[in-house]
A and B are shown apart, each in its own frame.
Chain A
Amino acid sequence: MKVLVPVKRVIDYNVKVRVKADGTGVDLANVKMSMNPFDEIAVEEAIRLKEAGKADEVIAVSIGVKQAQETLRTALAMGADRAILVVAADSVDQDIEPLAVAKILAKIVEEEQPGLVLCGKQAIDNDMNATGQMLSALLGWSQATFASEVDIDGDSAVVTREVDGGLQTIKVATPTIISVDLRLNEPRYASLPNIMKAKKKPLDEKTAADYGVDVTPRLEVVKTSEPSERAAGIMVGSVDELVEKLKEAGAV
């Protein structure tokens, strides 16, 4: 079985993002970019399936700007076998919507015929939490989102999902799409020799046009603004003072 892992290049989760003064977006010039943390977990899970003999090949895919190559090299260094870069934007300020990403991924699935797609539950830039579900709809496949435990067994998968009420376990028919949550595993670091090896692994470069997908956004970003700031608070010196302040504020 082949496993396809879509990985997105996003602002590193440690970076404090700044909204551009003219309201056109977030400042992406000269900030550290990394693989979306959820996608690292998806790559790790795919590699573990291969190590357990349940998968033969792990293919990482990224859709976006040319620089997403670095993200794919990271996936290869972790242990993915090959990568596909779909260049669909020429500026880092141009993000591709989940619907368009899902349409491109659907074409790649048709070509590659994976038994499983492992993606992140959400990308930490746009927090849309949509791509996996959309891809599943386009393919008419089953979906198992927000996974914290995955057990692949022949033509089905048993997946435990993190939901509002606690945990839900479902059984889905394969091929399937699983979107991974943070507690599924702890991704490995790529070792130096593996980083070197990754440079030689195959990385195919395509364009959105190669797949005949129109990536024109359906959502126009009218403006991007700073969230409202909280008024400065005060430090209290003791539990007694805290209780007094809370009572004054009518909070308790």
Chain B
Amino acid sequence: MAVLLLAEVNNGELAMDATAKAVTAAKALGDVTVLAAGASAAAAGDAAAKIDGVAKVLVAEDASLGHRLAEPTAALIVSLAGDYSHIVAPATTDAKNVMPRVAALLDVMVMSDVTAVVDADTFERPIYAGNAIQTVKSSDATKVITFRTSTFDAAGEGGSASVETVGAADNPGLSEWVEDKVAESDRPELTSAGIVVSGGRGVGSEEDFKIIEALADKLGAAVGASRAAVDSGYAPNDWQVGQTGKVVAPELYIAAGISGAIQHLAGMKDSKIIVAINKDEEAPIFQVADFGLVADLFEAVPALTEKLG
């Protein structure tokens, strides 16, 4: 069986962590061919060729593929689909935009956020914000899947797959890119960080979010936030952890001023160690915490920052 894996490429660069985690999941299904697509994608393709377990890399470079617009990217994948039993990708927002479109064009279902491969047709995926795990068996000729990266370890480097170029498909020309607003940050990426420090509504303001960020920086951690904190403008949308934000599973997750709604837990309850700091001893977050501290975060978080490291 042969697997086509859509690499996560941002501005010509391979997102190694997400791609390598999807490779681990895909290896169980057959020989893995990675597709690196973008306005420039050659460097990303070369990087992908080094991931252990990758048999071949296809590089598609075309202006229309520049910003991962769904229509031309899906058309490209469909043009290659005939050779593969499985078409997969890490479950990033880019892939979730593109893969259901690919599936519908192939007249098959998509399986989103798959967390385990049972066999070539059977997969596990969380439903109801992770409150149930469903095992589904697909009867479709081609399986189209996104893998939840937080549940797979990244494949190592050391491979040397061959690299070929392929042409883009006809661009349907239905959409165009206008602009990106991407926050530049020296912090580790939320979905691959070993430690995440998150703040919720309890932090109270954008200004006070600095105490969350200071603890994160002391620990070399990424910063996360609850939906309430993002909605209130204390934190940008790409920090949101949860059912509708990012799913993380770091070694250590520190939640301060977060109550622990199921939609938030959906994004962090697979973390190795969870620390909760909340002034309300009844807060549901304590039910999933390994270490709970009932305290005012404005005292506890700066004290923690001072005493750690």
Contact = CB atoms under 8 A, between A and B. Distances in A.
B136 A219 contact: yes
Contacts, number: 252
B1 interface: no
A240 B307 contact: yes
Interface band, chain A: 35 or more
A192 interface: no
State the majority secondary structure of interface residues on A. Answer: mixed
A181 B227 CA distance: 12
A91 to B, nearest CB: 17
State the majority secondary structure of interface residues on B. Answer: mixed
Interface string A77-104: 0000000000000000000011100100
Q: Which of B71, B105, B269, B309 has the most CB of A within 10 A?
A: B71
Contacts of B108: 99, 218
B140 to A, nearest CB: 5
B111 A219 contact: yes
A171 to B, nearest CB: 5
A166 B237 contact: yes
A144 interface: yes
Given A172-B175, A218-B109, A246 B252 contact: yes
A29 interface: no
B61 to A, nearest CB: 20
Contacts of A19: 131-132
A237 B293 CA distance: 6
B231 A183 contact: yes
Interface residues of B, number: 90
A140 interface: yes
A122 interface: yes
A207 interface: no
Contact of B109 (A97, A176, A224): A97
B170 interface: no
A142 B172 CA distance: 9
A130 B102 CA distance: 10
Contacts of A167: 180-182, 237
A-B CB proximity, top 3 nearest: A142-B174, A133-B100, A134-B104
29 contacts: A17-B131, A19-B131, A97-B109, A99-B103, A99-B108, A122-B244, A124-B243, A133-B98, A145-B96, A146-B97, A164-B94, A166-B182, A166-B183, A166-B237, A167-B180, A168-B67, A170-B176, A219-B109, A222-B135, A224-B133, A224-B135, A227-B130, A227-B133, A233-B289, A234-B292, A236-B292, A239-B307, A246-B273, A246-B308
Interface of A: 11, 13, 16-17, 19, 26, 97-99, 102, 121-122, 124-138, 140-146, 148, 158, 161-173, 176, 181-183, 217-227, 230-231, 233-240, 242-243, 245-246, 249, 251-252
